[in-house]
Structure 1
């Protein structure tokens, strides 16, 4: 019974955080800058929390394996302020990317995939916990399952989103100048917050540059193959950062909701 309650808690947490991110997409353009900054900090905290928590567990395993229990290194190397600052900085950067990307994402199919990704995360996590329970030390079972769940979920999610992006119609900039292409996309971005509007326009300008460059290179027979590789590398990199930020938010939201959270919650 306890196991089922744990699964339900995980699902409810992921449904709730996914719903909040969907709400952010719907209303971000209408929000004032102070509200958006608060949301950005909250997303940053979730990302940093998950990264810090799992990093401390891995560091604790390393210390147990290599450092004597009575050594002062146990206290010095277990991870503290410096580790927190590094993960907080990562969280701030990824949260900004995620906020802008979610605001601009209008593809209904992509949103269905994102909102359903929580089910995939829970399913993979439970599968790996079940397979490893008889082989992995209980204190590190959650961390072990996450180390497998996150990259596999990211790869599947990334593959689907790139496939959807490949079939999405794009504006034709083959006869346009670079300035026209950039301005065409950037000028469509609006928001109540001046800060958000500038970030949206910057992201749109980057997309316009990418599309214009790809369509211009495709017209050159010598560069056609290179253009295809370049475009897909840019698409892959952008989607990878977005998917990583999305999953790390889910990761941070699930900290402490794991089936054996009590055994690994101590820092």
Structure 2
């Protein structure tokens, strides 16, 4: 739990929708006796932190997730952790890392496994799941957890439009949502209708290569970071050669900036780790 600062963030309608689907299957409103559990907000932050992957604000019902350079399944598990805080806070007025909290997290994780959003292998990865020891203390080895599969969006697909600034108003009118940190427009469709939609998009002039179709059960996402290098005058030629732009992307007139995939952050930092006197950081 934490107080929040409303800066440098973005909502992610895709991930929130997925967490909401898990929540409503794990804790149906008619069984819980309230629909307040669905009243939460989600923000993803371009912020790398050493000691925590997310937090929950009891007063505003806001979940924040950090460290987007991690695999997407790890981010989902962090979302489930914070969602368990939301459940406990909503039902009991407080939330702590005690057995009741882990009971809620256990039910969320079982449900996500039954929907095939995450696997047992994801859950026993200590980097993905810092709660592993506590969950296994209260509920036994994850390898022995039992659940029945729940069909989840088997007939759905996502159409994602890349490099679509020129068509942004049209896509918004067509019901697409813009995912800021992924820099794509996305909408969910029945698989049977996907070709009709693709034909309509191409008729508008959107190149076929800009249109990506994914099964709705492909739980993956790629986020963008801006890596900013300061005090780098002596290294300008090297930085230019590996794709940095001086004063690029509106991140400061005297900064060298490169847009990278968040998952490439560690590798990119290695490229500049030995440059004398420079400071590299992720900028929103």
Could you tell me the TM-score, scaled by structure 2's length?
Answer: 0.23
Richer in strand (by share): 2
Higher relative contact order (CA 8 A, sep 6+): 1
Judging by fraction of residues, say which structure has more helix. 1
| TM-score normalised to structure 1 length | 0.24
